[in-house]
Amino acid sequence: MTTSQSTIDFILDQLSGLPRVRARKMFGEYALYCDEKVVALVCDNQLFVKITPQGKALIGERYLEGEAYPGAKPSMVIGAEEIDDGERLCDLIRITAQALPAPKQRHSKKARPQGGRTRRQT
């Protein structure tokens, strides 16, 4: 089962109070970005937020752990009650993004000449 566009639209609407939040479709599911950091996955219409000590403290006793897909790292499964509370959801996504390291810079894939030498074009 894949995530519906209406689920993503609702989550993004709830997060409209945060700047620089977006979702990117990946293999029928979605990655949720904040400040260009992947902070959560949305799989099978469920929100899985990366685990941070700050996020666990905010969620408190309602903290549940689960995997977004088989073999994935454990994440916090965010229930409908937290998703419906836009302000609280914004707080969770904000503090999760702040706790995560900056994304690694991608290196451009430049073609290297064979033999280790550069050719001079004339």
Assigned domain for 117 exists: no
Assigned domain for 21 exists: yes
Q: What is the mean pLDDT of the chain?
A: 88
How many structural domains are present in the chain? 1
Assigned domain for 75 exists: yes
Mean pLDDT value across residues 89-98 = 97
At 17-47, the pLDDT tens digits run: 999 999 999 888 999 999 999 999 999 999 9
Assigned domain for 112 exists: no
Mean pLDDT value across residues 54-70 = 90
CATH number (domain holding residue 98) = 3.30.1460.30
Assigned domain for 10 exists: yes
Note down the domain range covering 65.
Answer: 5-103
Q: Determine how many CB atoms are found less than 10 A away from the CB of residue 83.
A: 18
Sheet arrangement for strand 37-43? 21-26, 29-34, 37-43, 46-50, 74-78, 65-67
Assigned domain for 88 exists: yes
- Rounded Cα–Cα distance for residues 40 and 66 (Å): 12
